[in-house]
Amino acid sequence: MDTSQYLEIFIDETKEHLQSLSDHFMVLEKEPDNADTINEIFRSAHTLKGMAGTMGFVNMQNLTHKMEDVFSVIRDGNMKVTPDLVDLLFRGLDALEAYQDNIINTSSEGDETNDDIVNALIAMKEGKAPDSAPNNEKSAEPAPASADGAPAASSSDGGDDAAKKYLDITYVDFEKNAIKEAEEQNKNVYGITVYIQENCLLKAARAFLVFKELEVLGEVVKSVPTVQDIEDEKFDLDFSVTLITDASEKEVVSAIKTVSEIEKVTIGKLNIPEIVNDGASKDVDAPKADDSAAPKKEETSKPAAAAAKKAKEDKKAPAKSSSKPVVNRSVRVDIEKLDDLMNQVSELIIAKNGLVSVSESESAATDAQSFTEQIEYLERITTTLHESIMKVRMVPIESVVNRFPRMIRDLSKKLDKPMELYMSGEDTELDRTVIDEIGDPLMHLLRNSADHGIESVERRRELGKPEQGSVWLNASQVGNNVVIEVKDDGGGIDVEKVRTKAIERGTITEEQAEAMEDKDIIDLLFLPSFSTAEKITDVSGRGVGLDVVKTMIEKLNGTIQVTSEHGKGSKFSIRLPLTLAIIQGLLVRVGREVYSIPIASVIESVRVKKSEINTIDNHEVLNVRNEVISVLRLSRLFNIRTNEDGEYCFVVIVGSQDKKIGVMVDNLIGEEDVVIKPLRDQFTQSPGISGASILGDGSVSLIIDVTQLLELGVRQEIEARQESAYE
């Protein structure tokens, strides 16, 4: 039977059932005797088993069948839920998600049978201890996974030097600084090369799991290939990393080998003085006589292996490109929203017929009035139609955040930090385009809170805090924006420490540091070079910093702000537009040009005399109700000729309550719905511009990027303070 036509439905249904299992496993861990939860898990496992069997996914069917058997025994009262069983169930859930990812990418579940999980479930059902320890049990040494069967290949003392590809890594200055700082703190700096089994179908997923294990142990300073290339599967069967950690070699190797399909791990301590002093790391620990022969052996075997791998990936490419985009396009819509949309289209047809009737009328006396009435009618319908379409595109943010409780649960266990995630506002809706992109930034912020925000149990006891840390994820709609907050009750950001580190690394000078306020210092955490070397700015230890989070948020026309109280916690606030397609804009004129400022960012507009704009420290400011606001002239920013001799001008105040800037323009035109059109590549780097729109008269209006204007204003203030300090 050809089941390909049902694949999209299967994937959508599977996602829902796997999320249901994850949610109920979380409840089961806290309430092991909850009969309703046990019944729901049984039903989900039973449904998944039937669906997988129908589609011919035998391995997935077998695993869910064993889960169903276990819960059948539990429902009968012949077995109790234990912490070991819950851990095993989460391992099974991870395996099912891996099957799902493989099906999305290749339309096949792959060859992984997960016999260890299946056998453990059978043993528990029969009341026996599993024959082998679970894969995530780091205390037990796993069976030798290397091709030659020699455990020594996993340590710095064994294995041939050709296998130590980490010796070929080169470093740039900020990476050397991070390594040097690690040496000063008596941390271990390891070079690691990980080899994945040749028959592995999801090598990028395996590599991701390795990074996930390493991020718990320390900080990954360097990855070859890069993290992005690894995620895109642009590598063969091995990759190398440089890890800063307090853990021993044995602990690192054991953590890596908890990931299945790992062929071999080579690890060794790096010679830090040679790295810091521009010595090539390939010379570290390696006798030169052996290096001359080993690379040749690698070079001779590499082309054939690469060619075979490329051929294998080429075969899979069509399936990947044809299935994944289709899955991501689907949106479930309430039938009432579709009915409402259909009604609006009907009204639109009536309006069109009315205009046609007026145009064919022979009575000139009534033409003008009838035409005006029909235009007003059409305007009302198009506005309502726009709102209806936006509602159809809206998706609850729950579809993104529902995977985070499991993530925090896993981090809590691995970091040995008791913590709980509290969520609110999951029913807040966002445009599907925004929903698809917001997941990764939120994940990085939550990992950052768990990793670097929440203190250890011992430290929390010393501070008189509850042993269990708390992380909050709150979402709410404010006007035409959605505000998402990620906060914790951890140690907060030590502003003075950040200030000192920034000076040491040359990010800012001492004079700049003195002129900067605390919030400006905290904003330094979003700089790439700063976040790479300092742990407090590293997100998850995978080389992905807060700078990437900020970039992703700004691509969505959003903003991110940080507030922190040292010793009490931090809060990251993200403000996003409800939709990226159509916004309401305030049209302003500067010279002969017309610009659109998003209404959502406008606080107020004032008409002032130009003489009321004062200069303080070479920086223009305006006093509005005893509040001093920086002023930025669009005419100077965009080099536009304008009438400087007029007595009055308009200042549009944009931003938020805690960060504002006044934008000076010649005139205000009015409000208008603006359809956003992206700019071509040559215009994307224009400061202060986020897009363009075509107005009703056919002219083009550029859309102002308020976020960039705020940054320009802050920069002007800092420069003005510096000049004043020098004087």
Q: Which residue has the tokens 């998944």?
A: 48
User: Rounded to whole angstroms, how far apart are CA atoms 399 and 16?
Assistant: 10
In the set 46, 136, 183, 271, the catalytic residue is: 46
Q: Which residue has the tokens 């008189």?
A: 464
In the set 40, 65, 68, 102, the catalytic residue is: 68
User: Rounded to whole angstroms, how far apart are CA atoms 606 and 561?
Assistant: 26
68 catalytic per annotation: yes
271 catalytic per annotation: no
* CA angle centred on 232, ends 231 and 237, rounded to 5°: 80
Residue 100 near residue 14, CB atoms below 8 Å: yes
User: Rounded to whole angstroms, how far apart are CA atoms 691 and 679?
Assistant: 5
The token pair at 432 is: 């599907």
Judged by DSSP in three states, 474 sits in strand
Classify strands 481-488 and 469-478 as parallel, antiparallel or unpaired.
Answer: antiparallel
User: Rounded to whole angstroms, how far apart are CA atoms 575 and 553?
Assistant: 9
CA atoms lying within 13 Å on the CB side of residue 295: 10
Question: Closest Cα partner for 529 from 515, 514, 553, 546?
Answer: 546
The rounded Cα 320 to chain-centroid distance in angstroms is 22
End-to-end CA distance of the chain: 83
In the set 105, 114, 448, 557, the catalytic residue is: 448
The token pair at 534 is: 């300092």
In this structure, how many other beta carbons lie within 10 angstroms of the beta carbon of residue 664? 23
Tell me the CA distances in angstroms from 708 to 576, 603, 618, one per residue in order: 15, 17, 21
Q: Which residue has the tokens 């950001």?
A: 493
Burial (Cβ within 10 Å: 0-12, 13-18, ≥19) of residue 418 = middle
Q: Output the DSSP codes for 287-347.
A: -HHHHHHHHHHHHHHHHHHHHHHHHHHHHHHHHHHHHHHHHHH-----HHHHHHHHHHHHH
The token pair at 214 is: 């390493």
Q: Output the DSSP codes for 162-200.
A: GG-GGGG----HHHHHHHHHHHHTT-EEEEEEEEE-TT-
User: Could you give the maximum distance between any two Cα atoms of the chain, in Å?
Assistant: 101
Classify strands 627-633 and 619-624 as parallel, antiparallel or unpaired.
Answer: antiparallel
User: Rounded to whole angstroms, how far apart are CA atoms 252 and 250?
Assistant: 5
Q: Is omega for the bond preceding 577 within 30 degrees of 0, making it cis?
A: no
SS (H, E, C) 653-672: EEEECCEEEEEEECEEEEEE
Burial (Cβ within 10 Å: 0-12, 13-18, ≥19) of residue 139 = exposed
The token pair at 514 is: 């003195």
Tell me the CA distances in angstroms from 300 to 219, 442, 503, 605, one per residue in order: 34, 45, 48, 70
Q: What is the side-by-side order of every strand in the sheet holding 602-609?
A: 602-609, 648-656, 659-665, 627-633, 619-624, 614-616
448 catalytic per annotation: yes
In this structure, how many other beta carbons lie within 10 angstroms of the beta carbon of residue 70? 22
User: Rounded to whole angstroms, how far apart are CA atoms 467 and 458?
Assistant: 8
Residue 686 near residue 708, CB atoms below 8 Å: no
Could you list the active site residues? 46, 68, 448
